[in-house]
């Protein structure tokens, strides 16, 4: 649905009203993914006791999805351009949360990444991704035209490196990688100079090399990386092999809901979170996997389009960041289960069990939709120019 067709359908409408330009389909795709995710979570967590299936996880995740949709709805009422003004407090809040979690957070699986509130846990790194997106978008949108000067690039990198460093220290390398991908994509769209980027990539490679050889990475993380590079008889490669067997076991149409033997035996670790795609792959087969990929493709295509059609560069950067976040997480999470990416703890957006992740993902979609529906709206402080890329 384009702006022109919207007008032609309803010529009496006010073209300035955002509600005439809303595209809710990305959110629908997200809800679809969330529902498929619920099925997967149920299969992965219901347990073996036929008379007493565990529904705790699926109920919680259902709640998270509802909260996520509400957050989405709330966010689209909110004009994204306010965010440019609020960028500093938002960014500061994310950093503070990241610092706080290092002090009062709880440790799970060797990483101190969570706040604990009763039975709920919150993962500030998830929200920090959005904080980073907003901060970077705000920083880069001050420039109206031309390529990115070096000063701006350095600023952007400093903005990115602060949360990335804290996240790595938790350690949560997965989220750090997502933040890295977000930054890279936004710099690219923000027209950073090619030679600067090449220099940056070289620098990053050096940093990763140093990181691997430093004591900053936990042993299990090095193990996983080695397992990916050298799939010999380590536990991590065993996990990855079992994940692939699970997906392969599904075949064309899958074993049927609740019938996946790999899933039932618990042979794949973290199956309701990072490895959620293996449940879908096993129980719904190639057909189910394709549906998931198509929903993601649709979502990302809409986001891509939204980024291009955004009313200002700030909005365009915001959507780009969200797009990069989803794209990288999806590729990493699904690719890992199929053995084309190393095993890293990254949730699959909308599908993996986890409140912080669900909320962040829906907020991300909300941001994008909010940007998109206001592409023709008059600005809160300035007139709208021509919609630019």
Partner 1 sequence: MLGVLLLGLFGSLFARLWYLQVVTEEEAQLEAQANLFRKVYVPAPRGRVLDRGGNVLIDNRLVNEVVIDRFTLTEAFPSESEQREFSIKLAREISDAGYLIKAETIMIALTDQKYGRFDRVPIATDVPERFSILIGERVDEFPGVEVQKSTVRYYPYGTVAGHLLGYVGPVFEGDLAGLRSSPKLYQPTDEIGRAGVEASFEDILRGTPGVEVIEVDAAGNRIRIVEQSDPVPGNDVQLTLDINLQALAERELAEGVRAARLRREQAISSDGVAIELSEFKAPGGAMVLLDPDGSRILAMATYPTYDQRIFQRDDFSQREFDVIQNDPTAPLLNRAVAGSYPPGSTFKLITAYAAFDSGLLGDRGFLGRNAFLVDDGFWRVPGECFAAGCTIENAGKKPLGDIDIRAAIAQSSNVFFGQLGFQFNVRQGFTTEQLTDAARDFGYGEGADAVPGSISGDVPVPPNAGSTANLAVGQGDLIASPLQMANSYATLANRGKVYSPMLAEAALDAVNGDVLIDYQPRLRRTLYMPDEFYEPMISGLLGVTTSTELASGTAAEAFEDFPTNFKVAGKTGTVENQPRQDNAAFAAFGPWPNPQYAAVVYIEQAGLGGDAAAPVVASVFEKIARGAIDVVPTEAEAEKLISEDQAIAEEQARLDREEQARLDLEALTVEEDGPGFDVLIPGSVDPGDGSGAGVGGDQNSSDENPSDENPGAADSVDPNDPAAGDNRGDRGSPDPTVPAAGTPPSPTPFVLPEDFVLPEDGATSNDGSDGP
Which spans of this chain sit near partner 1 (rule: CB under 8 A)?
A: 48, 185, 188-189, 233-235, 242, 244-252, 261-262, 264-269, 281, 285-286, 289-290, 293, 296-297, 300-301, 304, 320, 323, 327, 330-331, 334-335, 338-340
Closest CB 164 distance from partner 1, rounded Å: 21
Closest CB 28 distance from partner 1, rounded Å: 19
C-alpha dist (Å) from residue 178 to 119, 151, 235, 278, 352? 27, 24, 25, 21, 16
Angle at Cα 94 formed by Cα 89 and Cα 99, nearest 5°?
120
Nearer to partner 1, 291 or 384 (CB): 291
Cα 136 off chain centre by: 16
Closest CB 269 distance from partner 1, rounded Å: 8
Taking phi over 0 as left and psi of -120 to 50 as alpha, with beta for the rest, 350 belongs to left
Closest CB 44 distance from partner 1, rounded Å: 12
Nearer to partner 1, 98 or 348 (CB): 348
Closest CB 131 distance from partner 1, rounded Å: 22
323: its two tokens: 């797009």
DSSP label at 347? P
DSSP secondary structure string for all residues of 272-295: TTTTHHHHHHHHHHHHHHHHHHHH
Contact 130, 364 (CB under 8 A): yes
Closest CB 103 distance from partner 1, rounded Å: 34
Torsion of CA 58, 361, 285, 232, to 10 degrees: -100
CB neighbourhood size of 333 (10 A): 24
339: its two tokens: 């053995």
C-alpha dist (Å) from residue 212 to 30, 176, 179, 225, 377? 35, 14, 18, 9, 48
C-alpha dist (Å) from residue 311 to 14, 197, 234? 17, 26, 51
Closest CB 275 distance from partner 1, rounded Å: 12
16: its two tokens: 């300035």
Closest CB 282 distance from partner 1, rounded Å: 8
Nearer to partner 1, 14 or 259 (CB): 259
Closest CB 270 distance from partner 1, rounded Å: 12
Name beta bridge partners: 121: 116
Nearer to partner 1, 38 or 334 (CB): 334
Nearest CA to 344 out of 203, 265, 227, 186 is that of 227
Nearer to partner 1, 115 or 286 (CB): 286
Nearer to partner 1, 170 or 239 (CB): 239
Contact 135, 90 (CB under 8 A): yes
Closest CB 293 distance from partner 1, rounded Å: 6
Contact 192, 148 (CB under 8 A): yes
Nearer to partner 1, 168 or 306 (CB): 306
Nearer to partner 1, 257 or 286 (CB): 286
């Amino acid at each position: 649905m384009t702006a022109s067709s919207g007008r032609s359908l309803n010529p009496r409408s006010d073209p300035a009203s955002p509600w005439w330009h809303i595209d809710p389909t990305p959110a629908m795709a997200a809800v679809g993914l969330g529902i498929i995710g619920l099925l997967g979570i149920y299969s992965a967590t219901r347990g073996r006791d036929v008379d007493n299936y565990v529904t705790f996880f699926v109920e919680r995740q259902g709640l998270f999805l509802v909260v996520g949709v509400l957050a989405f709805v709330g966010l689209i009422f909110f004009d994204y351009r306010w965010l440019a003004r609020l960028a500093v407090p938002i960014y500061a809040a994310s950093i503070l949360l990241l610092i706080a979690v290092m002090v009062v957070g709880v440790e799970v699986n060797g990483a101190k990444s969570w706040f604990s509130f009763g039975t709920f846990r919150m993962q500030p790194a998830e929200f920090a991704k959005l904080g980073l997106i907003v901060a970077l978008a705000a920083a880069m949108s001050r420039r109206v035209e031309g390529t990115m000067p070096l000063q701006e690039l350095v600023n952007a990198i400093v903005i990115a490196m602060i949360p990335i460093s804290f996240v790595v220290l938790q350690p949560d390398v997965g989220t750090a990688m997502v933040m890295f991908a977000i930054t890279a994509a936004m710099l690219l769209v923000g027209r950073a100079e090619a030679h600067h980027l090449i220099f940056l990539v070289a620098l990053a490679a050096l940093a990763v090399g140093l990181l691997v050889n430093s004591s900053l990475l936990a042993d299990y993380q090095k193990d996983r990386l080695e397992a990916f590079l050298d799939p010999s008889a380590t536990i991590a490669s065993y996990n990855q092999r079992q994940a692939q067997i699970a997906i392969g076991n599904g075949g064309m149409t899958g074993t049927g809901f609740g019938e996946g033997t790999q899933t039932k035996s618990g042979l794949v670790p973290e199956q309701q979170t990072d490895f959620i795609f293996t449940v879908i792959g096993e129980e719904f087969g190639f057909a189910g996997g394709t549906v998931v990929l198509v929903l993601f493709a649709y979502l990302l295509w809409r986001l891509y389009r939204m980024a291009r059609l955004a009313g200002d560069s700030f909005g365009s950067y915001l959507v780009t960041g969200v797009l990069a976040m989803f794209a990288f997480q999806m590729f990493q999470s699904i690719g890992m289960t199929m053995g084309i990416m190393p095993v890293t703890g990254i949730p699959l957006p909308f599908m993996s069990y986890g409140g912080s992740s669900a909320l962040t993902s829906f907020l991300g979609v909300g941001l994008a939709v909010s940007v998109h529906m206001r592409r023709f709206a008059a600005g809160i402080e300035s007139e709208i120019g021509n919609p630019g890329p």
